[in-house]
Amino acid sequence: MGKTIEVIFLKQAEEFTNSIEDKPKKKLFQAIRKTKERLFGQWFTKLKSSDGIFEFRVDDSGKFYRLFAFWDTEEYDETLVVATHGLIKKTNKTPPAQIRKAEQIKWKYFEEKKEDKKNKSK
C-alpha cells in the first residue's frame, strides 16, 4: 500500500484555515481527508507551470478556496503533504504570484530541513 499520507500545515496555512467560515472549512477538510486516504480528484491537483505545487480546491457560494501545498517524500514511514498558505478567489484562475509564493515556501522548507539534519549529525 505504501507509506501513509499525512497533511501538515505551516503557519500561514493554519491561519488561513482558521479564518474561513465553517462550511468551506468543512469542505476543505473533506478534501484533505480524501487525499490522506489516497483518493485523488479535482479537489487536489498539481498546478501547471509550477515546481511541484498542488492545491486543495473547494468552492462555496461562488467563492473558490485554495490551499497550496507540496509533497515531502523524504520521511521513512510517511509521506507528507505540506500546506503552505491559502486564499479566497471569486474566479477560478490561480494568480501566478501565489504559485511563486508557494514555491518559495517549499524551497525554504527543504533548506531548513537540510540544515536541521546537518546540525543533528554533528
86 close to 105: Cβ distance less than 8 angstroms: no
Residue with the three cell numbers 518559495: 104
pLDDT in tens, 10-53: 999 999 999 999 999 999 999 999 999 988 888 999 999 899 99
- Count of structural domains, the chain: 1
**pLDDT at position 46:** 94
- Cα atoms in the Cβ-side hemisphere of radius 13 Å centred on 100: 3
Q: What CA–CA distance (Å, rounded) separates 62 from 59?
A: 7
**Helix 22-36 × helix 11-19 angle, to 10°:** 130
- The domain in which residue 22 lies consists of 4-120
pLDDT of 20: 96
Using DSSP, state whether 99 is helix, strand or coil.
helix
Model-wide pTM > 0.75: yes
CATH of the domain at 65: 3.30.2310.20
